[in-house]
Structure 1
Amino acid sequence: MPTLYLIRHCSATGQEPAASLTEAGHEQALLLRDFFREVPIDRIISSDYTRAVASVTPLADAHQLSIEREPLLRERILTHEPLEDWLAPLRQSFIDPTFKLPGAESSEEATHRIIQVIERVQSQHAATLLVTHGNLLALLLQRLDPHYDFETWRTMRNPDVYRLDFNDSTPVIEHIWPHK
């Protein structure tokens, strides 16, 4: 079974697909590169959003790997309308995976997208980095281990890194990002 590294992107200027990294985000991307310097990596698959790709570009360059852009790793769409209180529906979506606002994506639907990517790479014997967004990553973690929840999302950092291994098809998750 492969080892998967699940990465939340570095600090960005916004939430839109073309949002770039902040100055701190660029520094964080270099920290990611250094963190993975001695780790054998065979493949990098990233959300096609600018901030996700930019988060691992220095790492990809250091490992001489290309970055495969994967739309299934895009951030989950909670709503298309501005919300004064968006934390309440987000919290509700962790409690009820079928909950969704009009025209948006439920937790169940979003999780299904990232699970498709996990299943595709799980059958390979390669160390793979999956670069995604906080909400989608937290939903994946919750699907694999129910003790991850809304509070997991709230305490995630930019960037953040989890290692995912499968022990006889049982997921083993380890939070490995040491930087504060």
Structure 2
Amino acid sequence: MAAKRIAKTAVDWAAFAERVPANQKELFRAFKGRNDTLMNRVHQFPENLPKIDFSFYRSRLANTSMVDQFEKSYGSVTVAYPADKEKMLAKIENDENQASKETEQYVKELKANIQEANNMIAKIDSLPKPEDMNMEMHSYYFPQVALDPVNKPTLWPHTPNMQPGNLKTLLK
């Protein structure tokens, strides 16, 4: 009966539960419990007002005009569903669309980062194994860190802070 009234606002609790972080599971359970309690209270009542047999009251009462007045008043009673005066539903849908666009953009950026990382992994996989690499290969593949005795001679232990002219070495 009452399901027709709230069919449009039903919540997919399984999908909702998948998105709840582990540290908020108890709050989610409490929220769902409160919702279930409210839904049970709503479903206790019929969708429409109960029918009243006004002919029975007309036969029992002397003043039938009062029964006619009650019947007219009872027939005109309507319980309105609350209106969205502040247009909250439109705001929520707008926020959802905006979040969807931002999510799509973020996913595109992440896919680009993943592709870049896969390209880097492919380059690393194409290198020879370190145990198979000699000094010439090392200087070819890694010129920024390789020792170059002709153009950039260094002294043992070949670290930047232990080279002549480095201020750190002079201050020690």
What range is the shorter-chain TM-score in? under 0.3
Bigger strand fraction: 1
Q: TM-score, normalised by structure 2?
A: 0.18
Bigger helix fraction: 2
Which one has a bigger Cα radius of gyration? 2
Q: TM-score, normalised by structure 1?
A: 0.17
